[in-house]
Amino acid sequence: STWCSSFVPENECWRVEYEIWHEDLGLGVLVAGDEDCGIVNYIRRYGFYEGEGDEEFGGNPYRIDPRLFVSILKGKAVPGAVEYIERRKQIKLKVLQNQLADIKTIRSEVKEGLDAGKNEALDYEKKRLEASIQEVQCEYDACITKMQSIR
């Protein structure tokens, strides 16, 4: 679908999205828009702007970090890229660990046997979050290892 903001003229219609991926580095960026509108125009007009990616963790998935973008284009990690990835990993892990702590707290407050359905749902969510934490650690550690080996 096409999205337009009538109150911010620079927010032209964003028609497409695609990912630029560098397999050897294990890095990718999500690009919204094409050569006529979207993030390409934002970068052309304003340069790279602040913010974090990953909407799931409170950021904007279309925010392109210049260190990652240049690393992808050059095929090797530029200064600050590995540290940026490590920081992103820690942010994601903190969010997931906080969610897991909340689930554990709620689960400890639910009386055994009183609401088996609720207990099962909480146990399922706990296992899902634990798996997500492992997945984030493995994914980011693999990316960092690849980036460090190609410097």
pLDDT digits (tens, 9 = 90+) for 14-25: 667 888 888 888
Amino acid identity of 4? C
Answer with the residue of higher pLDDT: 99 or 13: 99
Winning range, highest mean pLDDT, from 30-44, 70-84, 125-139: 125-139
Are 15 and 34 in contact, with CB atoms under 8 Å apart? yes
pLDDT of residue 15: 65
As given in the structure block, the two tokens for residue 65 are: 């970090």
What rounded mean pLDDT belongs to the chain?
78
Nearest to 63 by CA among 83, 90, 86, 43: 43
As given in the structure block, the two tokens for residue 69 are: 């973008």
pLDDT of residue 126: 92
- Report how far Cα 129 is from the mean position of its chain's Cα atoms: 16
Neighbouring residues of 107: CB distance < 8 A, sequence distance ≥ 6: 119, 122, 123, 126
CA–CA dist 82, 144 (Å, integer): 6
Q: To the nearest whole percent, how much of the chain has pLDDT over 70?
A: 75
* pLDDT band at 2; cut points 50, 70, 90: very low
Are 97 and 126 in contact, with CB atoms under 8 Å apart? no
Are 33 and 39 in contact, with CB atoms under 8 Å apart? yes
